[in-house]
Amino acid sequence: MGQHPFHDVAIVGIHNTEQARVLEGHDDRSISLQAALGAIADAGLEPRDVDGVIGPFGNDFLYQARIGPAWRSLSALGIPALLDGVTAIASGMATTVLFATGGAGTYTQRASTAPWTRPTNEFVAAYGMYTAGEFALMARRHMHLHGTTAEQMAHAAAVVRNNGHAHPDAVYSGRGPFTAEDVLASRMVADPFHLLECSMTSEGGAAVVLTRADRVADLRQRPVYVLGGGTDYYGPAYQHPPLWDLGGHRRPDLVAGYVGRRAAEEAFACAGLGPNDVDVCEFYDPFSFEILRQFEAFGFCGPGEGGAYVTSGAIEPGGATPVTTDGGTMSFSHGGAAVQLLQRVIRGVEQLRGTCASMQVEGAEVAMCTGGGSGALFTDVVLLGRERP
Amino acid sequence: MTLLTPQAGDIPLPVPGALSVPYWEGCAAGELRFQRCSDCGGATHTPAVLCAHCTSTDLVWEVSSGRGEVYSWTTIWRPATPAFEVPYVPLIVEMEEGWHMLADLVGCEHDAVHVGLAVEVEFFAHPGGITLPYFHPRR
Ligand SMILES: [Zn+2]
């Protein structure tokens, strides 16, 4: 058996800036650079140790720190961007890679939904579509196919929000606890989603630093390793009808409703693991239904069983697969247009370090972190672990 | 009772692309158009270069019957922008020819919608200068 493809890569630094509904005096660039410095310091590194950057604000960092010429990925969003950095180190193109992202000051027209929720596409914009509606069309089809109930979805939202209630740095820290009844009593946004089943809007920055695994002995933190990853896409988000049954000729056994299944299969195969080996599920939570859907998509339960799974006690703290332990986008933070897609990775790293400020899973060895969702026609997966693969 | 109606306010309007001009011209002419593959006979929407069924590039525009069934729906109470009157009800409609499109429901109360509802297209000439398809329950 050959060496694991990510044997030489370690996640050694993470940082969240302050997260808030509004961060006065910041813009995307300023909050991203603050996050970058935090993650580099967390790792015990210096800015000049970085020789690779990811995304637009990584480019700002490399200019300001005058560390060019450096490797750069043009990716900007979440797990795919992280995997670019992982691959760059594994292949020797870079030694230490910074992925910093942040959002502030862009959501000012508050009578409308946030700008990143409503791309101006010719086939959806005139119908008042935005993210909640796109995801609702997927959830409604699942309810029709499988009898999934509003109560089941509301329960998942309550669990995630209660994790954020307990996290000191969450935007909605202390704003719970919630029951499924509380969730169902909140105002309707896009049927079947009530307000408390939807992501918030907020501002903040986040960053991750990766380096070669042979350097970790000199660094500050217990390293976390990348056991496997995958990305699943069906096409541009929010331009075409979000059809549950949208298929693809290369994998006719799969549909867009289960986007992420192939990515999870690939990540598990790379890791030599399966759903039973996952200790903590840092699942992306744009809307309540996506929690149920991901447990089905990734093989934790069968098709149509997501509602029963999330109400079985499995996803609560102490359950077999605790989910989104900081409150996710519903309670911890969304952080602008892109930050939220990196937050699951940061929380997965904290869980494996044993330092998560809420709902730490005792002895967690493997974390599954995800991004995206069915309504956006993509889902990304990365498996993180304490043991070097 | 309040019947759902087309959105006549200052909503974001479509800007046709090179591929979609025939679709929007069809709407202006009171025709709901889709692309039919000359090789496999399959229907494709949204407007494309490649057939969704066989990747052939031999697609020809055809006029739909305009009839279909609701495949999925949502009722929106928090509008995308203040220009939208709430509630409004976006649908995915499965058309008789086997393709799917997204549009809003009109001509009934918001709670009349359900998966499987038989619907038919109608057109609304928005004052902003473009004609948009909507769907009403089939009578
Ligand atoms: Zn064809």
Q: Verify whether the Cβ–Cβ distance B81 to A188 is below 8 Å.
A: no
Q: Give yes or no for residue B96 having a pLDDT over 80.
A: yes
Q: Give yes or no for residue B139 having a pLDDT over 90.
A: no
Whole-number Å distance between alpha carbons of A339 and A77: 8
A244 contact residues in B (CB cutoff 8 A) = 72
Whole-number Å distance between alpha carbons of A103 and A94: 26
Structure tokens belonging to residue A345: 């990775």
pLDDT in tens, A322-363: 999 999 999 999 988 888 889 999 999 999 999 999 999 999
Quick one: pLDDT band at residue A108, thresholds 50, 70, 90? confident
- Does residue A222 form part of some domain? no
Q: Max CA-CA distance within chain A?
A: 58
Residue A340 pLDDT: 87
Residue B35 pLDDT: 98
Q: Give yes or no for residue B2 having a pLDDT over 90.
A: no
- Does residue A65 form part of some domain? yes
Q: Give yes or no for residue B1 having a pLDDT over 80.
A: no
Residue A339 pLDDT: 85
Task: Tell me which amino acid residue A339 is.
Answer: V
Q: Verify whether the Cβ–Cβ distance B74 to A140 is below 8 Å.
A: yes
Residue A46 pLDDT: 97
The answer to whether the pTM exceeds 0.90 is yes
What total number of domains does chain A contain? 1
A124: phi then psi, degrees, rounded to nearest 5: -130, -30
Of residues B17, B73, B115, nearest to A122 (C-beta)? B17
Quick one: pLDDT band at residue A76, thresholds 50, 70, 90? confident
- Does residue A367 form part of some domain? no
**Which DSSP letter does residue B13 get?**
-
Q: Which chain A residue is nearest to residue B13, measuring alpha carbons?
A: A126
Q: In DSSP terms, which residues pair with A126 in a beta bridge?
A: none
Q: Give yes or no for residue A1 having a pLDDT over 70.
A: no
Residues A252/A104, Cβ–Cβ less than 8 Å:
no
- The answer for B 30-49 residues in CB contact with A (under 8 A) is 46
Q: Give yes or no for residue A367 having a pLDDT over 90.
A: yes
Average pLDDT over residues B113-129: 98
Average pLDDT over residues A146-162: 98
Of residues A124, A136, A192, nearest to B102 (C-beta)? A124
A140 contact residues in B (CB cutoff 8 A) = 72-74, 115
Q: Which of B21, B23, B74 to mutate to test the interface with A (most CBs of A within 10 A)?
A: B74
Helical packing angle, A340-353 and A78-90, nearest 10°? 60
Residue A312 pLDDT: 98
Q: What is the mean pLDDT of chain B?
A: 97
- Does residue A178 form part of some domain? no
- Does residue A83 form part of some domain? yes
Q: Verify whether the Cβ–Cβ distance A141 to B103 is below 8 Å.
A: no
pLDDT in tens, B53-62: 999 999 999 9
Average pLDDT over residues B116-121: 98
CA of A90 to the centre of ligand 1 (A): 41
Whole-number Å distance between alpha carbons of B99 and A240: 12
Q: What is the mean pLDDT of chain A?
A: 96
Complete DSSP assignment for A304-345: T-HHHHHTTTTTSTTSSS-B-TT-HHHHT---TTTTHHHHHH
Closest C-alpha to B99, from B32, B27, B39: B32
Torsion sign, CA atoms B73, B78, B83, B87: positive
Q: Verify whether the Cβ–Cβ distance A141 to B71 is below 8 Å.
A: yes
Residues A243/B92, Cβ–Cβ less than 8 Å:
yes
**Residue range of the domain that includes A65:** 5-103
Residue A155 pLDDT: 98
Q: Which residues contact A19 (CB under 8 A, 6 or more apart)?
A: A169, A170, A171, A202, A203, A204, A332, A333, A335
pLDDT in tens, A3-38: 999 999 999 999 999 999 999 999 999 999 999 999
Residue A296 pLDDT: 98
Regarding beta strands B90-95 and B100-104, do their DSSP bridges make them parallel or antiparallel, or are they unpaired? antiparallel
**Which DSSP letter does residue A354 get?**
T
CATH of the domain at A71: 3.40.47.10
- Does residue A353 form part of some domain? no
How many Cα atoms occupy the beta-carbon half-sphere of A129 within 13 Å? 31
User: For chain B, which residues make up each domain, given as ranges?
Assistant: 21-137
Residue B47 pLDDT: 97
CA of B60 to the centre of ligand 1 (A): 11
R_g of chain A, CA atoms, integer Å: 19
Quick one: pLDDT band at residue B90, thresholds 50, 70, 90? very high
Residue A240 pLDDT: 94
Residue B75 pLDDT: 98
Residue A2 pLDDT: 83
CA B5 to chain centre: 15
Complete DSSP assignment for A165-204: HT-TTSTTTTS----HHHHHHSPEEETTEEGGGB----BE
Structure tokens belonging to residue A350: 């904290």
Q: Verify whether the Cβ–Cβ distance B71 to A239 is below 8 Å.
A: no
Task: Decide: helix, strand or coil at residue A290.
Answer: helix
Residues A218/A107, Cβ–Cβ less than 8 Å:
no
Residue B10 pLDDT: 97
Residue A118 pLDDT: 86
Structure tokens belonging to residue A173: 């820290």
